[in-house]
C-alpha cells in the first residue's frame, strides 16, 4: 500500500484535527489540546494560527458560522477526517509493532 504523501502528520496538526472533531475557535482549540494531551502539549498562538492557515489551504478544516462575530470557528472536513483516520491507523500499527517486539 502506498503511503499518503501528507503522512506522518506533525503532532500539532494531529492534535488540531482531533480538537476540531467539534467546532471550536482558536483559544478553545489550544485549551482542548492541552486537555487532550494531559498538559504534555501546549501550542502557542502563533504556531496554532499558522497551522490553521495551512489546514484551511489543504481543505482539512473549514470555518463555520458563529454567533460570536469576534471569533472564527473551525471544524474538520471530510478530507480532514480521512487524513486523521489514516494517521491514527499508522500510529496504531507502530504501537502494535512495538508491543509485539515487547518494547
Answer for the pair 66, 16: CB distance below 8 angstroms, yes or no: no
Classified as helix, coil or strand, 3 is coil
Query: Dihedral angle at the C-alpha atoms of 96, 20, 40, 45, nearest 10 degrees?
Result: 140
Q: 68 or 1: whose pLDDT is higher?
A: 68
Bridge partners for 64 per DSSP: 73
Interval 31-53: pLDDT, tens: 999 999 999 999 999 999 999 99
Q: What's the rounded Cα separation, in Å, for the pair 29 and 32?
A: 5
| Average pLDDT taken over every residue of the chain | 94
Amino acid at each position: 500500500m502506498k503511503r499518503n504523501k501528507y503522512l506522518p502528520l506533525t503532532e500539532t496538526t494531529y492534535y488540531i484535527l482531533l480538537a476540531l472533531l467539534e467546532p471550536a475557535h482558536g483559544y478553545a482549540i489550544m485549551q482542548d489540546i492541552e486537555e487532550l494531551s494531559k498538559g504534555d502539549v501546549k501550542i502557542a498562538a502563533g504556531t496554532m494560527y499558522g497551522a490553521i492557515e495551512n489546514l484551511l489551504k489543504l481543505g482539512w478544516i473549514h470555518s463555520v458560522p458563529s454567533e460570536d462575530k469576534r471569533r472564527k470557528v473551525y471544524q474538520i472536513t471530510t478530507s480532514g477526517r480521512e487524513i486523521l483516520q489514516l494517521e491514527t491507523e499508522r500510529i496504531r500499527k507502530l504501537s502494535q509493532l512495538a508491543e509485539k517486539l515487547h518494547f
